[in-house]
Amino acid sequence: MRIYLVTFHKTVPDDTGHDHRVLQRQAVVTACSDVAAAYAAKAMLCEADGVVDWRLRADTCEVCELGEHAA
């Protein structure tokens, strides 16, 4: 198993119309692959925020491997 950091961002405009990426949530997930980590983090975000689709809270989901989980 590997450890992943999954980060969710939402792109929002400021007063001048310029877009900015705003951090919505980060999750550290233990999973077999980056795809499994993204799936688990999306489910966690939906449960925590009480939404049925993670895209209601974020525009992007980025997965970064942190290392291997010590057994």
Q: How confident is the model at residue 71 (pLDDT cuts 50, 70, 90)?
A: low
Beta sheet of 2-13, edge-to-edge order? 19-31, 2-13, 60-68
The domain containing residue 54 runs over which residues? Answer: 2-68
CATH number for 47: 3.10.20
- Give Cα separations from 50 to 3, 63, 65, 68 (angstroms): 25, 22, 27, 31
Which residues lie closer than 8 Å to 34 by C-beta, 6 or more apart? Answer: 4, 63, 65
Looking at the structure of the chain, the number of domains it has is: 1
pLDDT tens profile 33-57: 999 999 999 999 999 999 999 999 9
Q: Is this prediction's pTM over 0.85? A: yes
- Give Cα separations from 60 to 13, 15, 54, 68, 71 (angstroms): 15, 22, 9, 24, 31
